[in-house]
Amino acid sequence: MYQVVQGHLETWLADCRLADEAGFPVAGYIEQDFRKYLQCGILANGFARARCAGCGYDFLIAFSCKGRGVCSSCNTRRLVETAAHLVDEVFPQVPVRQWVLSFPKRLRYFLARDADLRNRILLIFLNNVEKALLSCCPDAPDNARRGAVTLAHRFGSALNGNIHFHCRVIDGVFSAENEALRFDEATITPEAIAKVQAEVRGRVLRLFKRRALLSTEDVDAMRQWAHEGGCS
């Protein structure tokens, strides 16, 4: 990948400028990320020296680009560090389930540029997951609450624009019991998952309608789409 970017970046940028009337078809942050990637891990661009005070052995560590888009090395390191932090410092020793929410293409374009809309939909999703957890914990008190960490992904496996949420949700609910913390483990059923999907889909479409992002006719048509309308 590095050789491909190194050999063709300038040609690609030039071709894009020629193809675009305004001359700026590639967003500045995208070009910057590619250029930072070409400098990642090269000693000539800066380094730190690590030395063992005991034996005197030393070696050089090249600076990384710390990119969040192109660089597979920096992305992998961030992924591993985040996973280790969640396991060691955040999640208690209880079951954890991953819930993933994806959207039909027609909605992704709005989500890609509207942070408030994304936050509203994520809250809708997590609230419905919490309702499902409570329904699957019959002995839990009504004021019990979920525990979750969400990572928003902007791309699909083919680097296509695909806003979707990966939510690591504690598989149960927490509540205060005197001065202790009580945990009730959920037994999630397929019916509970299907109910979350249907309710989230309905509420998301209503939200788009209220914000005039979709017309009433569009919402009615999308409710008739097969496979839950691509909202899964």
Same domain, 92 and 57: no
With contact defined as beta carbons under 8 Å apart, do 167 and 126 qualify?
Answer: yes
Same domain, 100 and 150: yes
Q: Into how many domains does the chain fold?
A: 2
Confidence (pLDDT) at 70: 86
Same domain, 208 and 95: yes
Same domain, 46 and 106: no
Q: Is residue 96 part of a domain?
A: yes
Same domain, 96 and 40: no
Question: Would you write out the chain's pLDDT as a tens digit for each of its 232 residues?
Answer: 899 999 999 999 999 888 877 766 888 888 999 999 999 999 999 999 999 999 999 999 999 999 888 898 998 999 999 999 999 999 999 999 999 999 999 999 899 889 999 999 999 999 999 999 999 999 999 899 999 999 998 887 776 788 999 999 999 999 998 888 999 999 999 999 999 999 999 999 999 999 999 999 999 999 888 777 778 8
Boundary of a domain, candidates 45, 62, 79: 62
Confidence (pLDDT) at 209: 95
Locus of tokens 């569009």: 218
The whole-angstrom separation of Cα 103 and Cα 168 is 18
Contacts 24+ apart (CB under 8 A), 228-232: 228/197, 228/198, 228/201, 229/104, 229/201, 230/102, 230/103, 230/104, 230/105, 230/106, 231/101, 231/102, 231/103, 231/104, 231/107, 231/197, 231/200, 231/201, 231/204, 232/101, 232/102, 232/197
The predicted model scores a pTM of: 0.78
Confidence (pLDDT) at 26: 83
Q: Is residue 94 part of a domain?
A: yes
Domain limits at 9? Answer: 2-62
Mention every residue, 6+ apart, whose C-beta is less than 8 A from residue 147. Answer: 169, 170, 174
Q: Is residue 215 part of a domain?
A: yes
